[in-house]
Chains A and B, each alone.
Chain A
Amino acid sequence: MTDAFEPRILAYCCRYCAYAAADLAGSMRLAYPPNVRIVQVPCTGRIDALFLLRAIEAGADGVYVAGCLEGECHFLEGNLRARKRVDFVKGVLGEIGLEPERVEMFNLSSAMGPRFAEIARDMTERIRRLGPSPLRTDDASGETALGRCA
């Protein structure tokens, strides 16, 4: 079962950096795992702890937030706020008995297509090592629940 495990990962990407970097990665024909589903956000400052918790509750094996480099946020400090919220959610996961590493914050610029692909690979590998989330449901309802988070 674990051999066939394909992580389901949600990536909340800032439109000014990570989302554009994903676009660049595509233009550069860079391969990255198809396990990552991208959700565009206007700024990672829009990320609420509940977005991450709902994704985990819906059965995502991992969730990450990708924002601008620190000091480069289009809205000045949205990415710094996002990092704090990610840290908060890591704390909640620890409290409920899930690995905090299932949630992560990354920073990159729109010019960093290869870095975007690398993050997607790293996160997929990390989740593959951790194994499926115990909250994951593999039937259609799990897929629908996760789809609602995107």
Chain B
Amino acid sequence: MSIIKTKNLTFEYIRRDEEGNVEGITTAVDDVTLNVRAGEFIAILGHNGSGKSTLAKHINAILHPTEGTVWVDGRDTSDESQVWEIRQTAGMVFQNPDNQIIGQVVEEDVGFGPENMGVPTQEIWERVAESLRAVGMYQYRKSSPNKLSGGQKQRVSIAGVLAMHPKCIILDEPTAMLDPNGRREVIRAVRGLNDVEKITVVLITHYMEETIHADRIFVMESGRVAMEGTPKEIFSQVERLKELRLDVPQVTLLAHELKGRGLRLPDGILTTQELVEAMKRNGYL
């Protein structure tokens, strides 16, 4: 079943100079047609300015297409009357946790969404508790968000979206401002939501390592989907990714280097485990 579908999605905006005269038109998303099935884990890669975030903002109706159509769970995002339904279906988490947390106490912050949806009080508390448990932050429910680390704050932001019971979560570089530990915590929480709760995940990131467990990766370039495939398929193309200003995970790069030195290794190795096994199979270890 399809949860996010775009057909010939194009988004243009008009650039203006200081006096408001039109300078030109930028096409940020250019004729994108894609289909995300319910329960999938999708990663979107692409260099700065490739159109990733603009695409993502169409999924919960922050932006509306200039041309083409976006459907979220069967609802057309350009239909004004459906906007609230769409935003409840597809929740968004942004880069900076400090811009998204408003409550004085963690559980209050997480309850903000369902409260605004008019959920009965008893159920709000249930949702808050279950959302905080899902991201491993239940023991901090009475804390002040100010006292949390970046990774913890970001997990509270995710819980805030979860409490609205979305079918889909879009995360726009959720780990860009975090240290390695915080990054690990957030990615683990997101993978848990996808595995256990079967929530569809769309993860935008610049860290290649975070995408190796995705079901599919889309690589954006100049507003178009330049590559699409499983992590293995995508990361087998080391040179192509470099052309697109991207990278591959360190293990993949090491395997690629070793191949260049004449070792017999398969393409698209993504984890240390896989590399060790491939080395054993071919008698190097």
Query: Are both chains from one complex?
Result: no
